[in-house]
Structure 1
Amino acid sequence: MTGADARHDITTRGTAGKGAGGRAVWSRNFALFFVARAVARLGDTMLPVALAAGLLEHGYGAGAVGLAMASTAAAFAGLVVFGGVIADRFSTRRLMIGADLVRLVTQSLAAGLFFAGHVVLWQICAIGFVGGVAGAVFQPGVASTVPRLAADIQGANGAIRIAESAAQLAGPAVAGLLVGFASPGGVFAAHAATYATSALCLLLLRLPPLPEGARAATGRGMRAFRADLVQGWREFRSRTWLWAVIAVWCLYMIAVWGPSVPLVATEVVQRHGARAYGLVNSALGAGTVVGGLLALRLRPRRMLRAGAFSLFAFFGFPAAVGAGLGVPAMAAGAAVAGAGMSFWGVMWATSVQTQVPPDVLNRIHAYDVAGSLAMMPVGQALAGPAADALGAGHVLLISAATSLAVATALLAVPAIRDLVRADAGAPAH
């Protein structure tokens, strides 16, 4: 990007308390949602440590860790589209509360299995699958809740990203301590408690009514349900920038993020122990805090272009682990990667929430999430066999190189790099 492009792209600046033009972010309701997302993210970032340490402790390897993670991701990616239709037809808050309560039960059950020392892989995968179904019901409502709670949507997304990032900073370290001084079962019990807290915050939340006409038609029967699915798909495919990002993201999930999650976990735990993995993940969380702060301050006119440039920073994380570098180098790579991913995440979420009409936003977000994650369980499931054939280090180095190709591909699509933010007075492409 040239200096002129950069000056043109960065047009306004905000703060954590006020967004562009002085629009407020904080309120009682947003604070409750903020806490719910932060606490739930705290538990989610503890889970990979618990799975890696717990399954390795019971004689399983990288392939088992990948399958356990893939069971949740597969259920989530396969069913989130249907969750989007349901969220556009019913109360998103009640659906999210119900999903949290289901996951409270599943993680409590997992904790009981690890405490009892009776750990069978298919049971852990089944628990993960049910949790993924609950997540598929929960996630679509997040997209439409944020615009209802704050006038400054980018500022709200940035604040939530910082909360989730701070949780990611603390979660793995706490999980490492629990594994080291207690057991993996303690991590699962703590994870269950985070869902209980999230459900309580959402129970206290009071969402403002939707604008006139923003609620999808609620006809009965499978025909109406299919019609809602079809309408959501038409809205999705009519936006080139949207489906093009998802198409590129499929490559990212199968070749970068999918294998990186289980292989980084097993490589670091096996070489340096669970506490080192907690430190590396905490560095990733610290980086995402920085990325969230940057997203609060910078207001790019072309948000997806700026976000795509930030994705080049991910390269150092899998590269450092794959090259067998020390814990400080891996932590540094994780921190830079986290900053890039966090900034991209805010740019992407804000683009979707501001460019898409409210009456189809949950469905569009569901297609977005499903497309984004569809290949992740494939990448996770293939991580073990690929590591056996090529070596885990080589697979991670390939993932690092692919991450550069993904960022380049995003910038190569005109509809992505030239999309102007909705509040800049230009139509979406």
Structure 2
Amino acid sequence: MWQADQHGGDPGTPPGPAKRPARATWAGRNYTLLTAAAVVTGLGNSGALVAAAFAVLAAGGDGTDIGLVAAARTVPLVLFLLVGGAVADRLPRHRVMVAANALNCASQGVFAALVITGQAQLWQMALLSALGGTGQAFFAPASEGMVLATVSGEQSSRAFAFFRMGVNGANIGGAALGGALVAVVGPGWVLAADAAAFAAAGLLRALLDLSGVPERGPGGGLLADLRDGWREVVSRTWLWAVVVQFAVVNAVVAAAEAVYGPQVAQEHLGGAGPWGVALGAFGAGTVVGALLMTRWKPRRILLTGALCVFPLALPSAALAVPVSAAVLIGVMFATGLFVEVFGVTWMMALHQEVPEEKFSRVSSYDWFGSLAMVPVATALAGPAEELVGRPAALWSCSAVIVLLTAAVLCVPDVRRLERRTVPRDVADDTGAPGQPGPPRASQPMPKEPSGGTGDGAAASS
């Protein structure tokens, strides 16, 4: 809050100028701790992705082995996401997050020790990556919504945008720093730094002040919780429509960027260097997009977000042409900016419309939909290229994104959902709409007697 300077002397002396607080009034202790923890792990995780690949190569592996180790992390992440969401709605979410951080710290610490001592074998690296994916499966649903729960409804979009800006910046810096450190000190020490980052993040999250959070009531069992979460998803047309959309969109984007992109870069753009710059430009675009969303508060949040998905078709089209490296870099930057606008508006919609005590279950279905088809798409990308050719496969990726996004815009609830200007509890008690104009796409479900522990957002564990 604003406070006047204290002055001695003449009591008639007017008070001095107000002092600006060290941080925004809405950025309380919990918000600051959660954001700091996410930035720390963002730095560590991005560097660790680079280090893990080079650790596999240092152990005598090849590109296929790198893919196997990466898949070993993805498979348990997909398998345990729904269970992680149910657990996070049953137990205090901050404890689930701290436990997941502890598991990730231990697995990365052992991974680092094996690499540093030169004893790492492929099966060990795959097993430890699988443990890391398991930790992420429990962390991600627990973290969704926690940052937003620490600020008022009026400031939630700005808070989440600042959070995303910090995490995206950490991801970019971590990848660059990790690559440099791998060359200087070796991959093992970068993995050790990631383990230390998980430890620091777990400590920060353990310091959260949750004294005002009501205790959770007993649930009806794991399967009952999963069914309850499924009902929450299918009861909202806008929610399941976007989840289905991104199940396919994320899959084709992954195929284009992970399989086709490096090949196009090698043959037409000058190799890995320009491709790395293009990926970095995408990350820079997300930072600018997050900065934009700290100021911009669109009224129809899902309509705005859905329109910003169309540019995701541009990178595949640019690779299909293919355009020059300079043009591709510009396309990737713009795409990152628009995608970040969607990310913030999507989280606003979830936070506004889904009951807090069921948020983790719903977000676990969202995560599951986003990831489940990615391994299938990347596995089928090669056969598709052999069947129709790479340009046709890339144009198909763009067409799928455009068609699915247009289909989602045909859903009335997507076009009508509006940002509330009052907190959920106030709107629920008074029956007043959050925004004048057309009715909201989906009215909030009645809140259950037992509350949740809410707090954190985009899941970088």
TM normalised by structure 1 equals 0.82
Alignment of 1:217 with 2:230, yes or no, is no
The equivalent of 1:176 in structure 2 is 179
Alignment of 1:206 with 2:206, yes or no, is no
Matches of 1:400 and 1:394, distance apart in 2 = 10
The equivalent of 1:241 in structure 2 is 238
Deviation at 1:309, TM superposition (A): 1.4
Matches of 2:70 and 2:165, distance apart in 1 = 24
The equivalent of 1:338 in structure 2 is 336
Deviation at 1:93, TM superposition (A): 1.0
Alignment of 1:226 with 2:229, yes or no, is no
The answer to which structure has the higher helix fraction is: 1
What letter corresponds to residue 42 of structure 1 in structure 2? L
The equivalent of 2:356 in structure 1 is 358
Alignment of 1:428 with 2:441, yes or no, is yes
The equivalent of 1:12 in structure 2 is none
Residues 26-425 of structure 1 aligned to structure 2 (within 5 Å): 26-55=27-56, 58-61=60-63, 63-117=64-118, 120-151=121-152, 152-207=155-210, 209-210=212-213, 216-219=216-219, 224-257=221-254, 260-261=257-258, 264=261, 278-321=276-319, 327-383=325-381, 395-396=393-394, 398-423=396-421, 424-425=434-435
Could you say if the C-alpha distance between residues 208 and 263 of structure 1 is closer, same or farther in structure 2, counting changes exceeding 3 Å? farther
Q: Is the 8 A contact 2:91 2:216 kept in 1?
A: no
What letter corresponds to residue 300 of structure 1 in structure 2? P
The superposition leaves residues 340-391 of structure 1 with CA deviations (integer Å, 9 ceiling, x where unpaired) of 1111111111110110111211211112212222212323444555567777
Matches of 1:175 and 1:323, distance apart in 2 = 32
Matches of 1:68 and 1:404, distance apart in 2 = 33
Give the aligned CA root-mean-square deviation in angstroms. 3.1
Q: Is the 8 A contact 2:233 2:240 kept in 1?
A: yes
Deviation at 1:35, TM superposition (A): 0.9
Could you say if the C-alpha distance between residues 224 and 405 of structure 1 is closer, same or farther in structure 2, counting changes exceeding 3 Å? same
Deviation at 1:208, TM superposition (A): 5.0
Matches of 2:100 and 2:167, distance apart in 1 = 19
Q: Is the 8 A contact 1:287 1:337 kept in 2?
A: yes
The equivalent of 1:10 in structure 2 is none
Structure 1, unaligned stretches of length 5 or more? 1-16
Matches of 2:317 and 2:125, distance apart in 1 = 30
What letter corresponds to residue 174 of structure 1 in structure 2? L
**What is the percent sequence identity of the aligned residues?**
33
What letter corresponds to residue 338 of structure 1 in structure 2? G
More off after superposition, 410-419 vs 181-190 = 181-190
Deviation at 1:94, TM superposition (A): 1.3
The superposition leaves residues 237-275 of structure 1 with CA deviations (integer Å, 9 ceiling, x where unpaired) of 111111111111111122223552465468768986766
The superposition leaves residues 134-153 of structure 1 with CA deviations (integer Å, 9 ceiling, x where unpaired) of 11111122224123311122
More off after superposition, 71-80 vs 395-404 = 395-404
Partner SS, residue 309 of structure 2:
helix
Could you say if the C-alpha distance between residues 174 and 250 of structure 1 is closer, same or farther in structure 2, counting changes exceeding 3 Å? same
Deviation at 1:77, TM superposition (A): 2.2
Q: Is the 8 A contact 1:49 1:277 kept in 2?
A: no
Partner SS, residue 221 of structure 2:
helix
More off after superposition, 106-115 vs 319-328 = 319-328
Could you say if the C-alpha distance between residues 176 and 390 of structure 1 is closer, same or farther in structure 2, counting changes exceeding 3 Å? farther
Q: Is the 8 A contact 1:66 1:380 kept in 2?
A: no
TM normalised by structure 2 equals 0.77
Q: Is the 8 A contact 1:24 1:150 kept in 2?
A: no
More off after superposition, 392-401 vs 186-195 = 392-401
Number of paired residues? 402
Structure 2, unaligned stretches of length 5 or more? 1-19, 422-433, 443-461
Matches of 2:237 and 2:310, distance apart in 1 = 22
The equivalent of 1:11 in structure 2 is none
The equivalent of 2:449 in structure 1 is none
Matches of 1:277 and 1:54, distance apart in 2 = 22
What letter corresponds to residue 60 of structure 1 in structure 2? D
Could you say if the C-alpha distance between residues 334 and 178 of structure 1 is closer, same or farther in structure 2, counting changes exceeding 3 Å? farther
Residues 6-25 of structure 1 aligned to structure 2 (within 5 Å): 24-25=25-26
Deviation at 1:158, TM superposition (A): 0.7
More off after superposition, 320-329 vs 42-51 = 320-329
Matches of 1:111 and 1:139, distance apart in 2 = 23
Q: Is the 8 A contact 2:44 2:174 kept in 1?
A: yes
Deviation at 1:421, TM superposition (A): 2.4
Matches of 1:84 and 1:154, distance apart in 2 = 23
Could you say if the C-alpha distance between residues 227 and 37 of structure 1 is closer, same or farther in structure 2, counting changes exceeding 3 Å? same
Matches of 1:402 and 1:427, distance apart in 2 = 29
Matches of 2:67 and 2:306, distance apart in 1 = 28
Matches of 2:401 and 2:56, distance apart in 1 = 28
More off after superposition, 30-39 vs 277-286 = 277-286
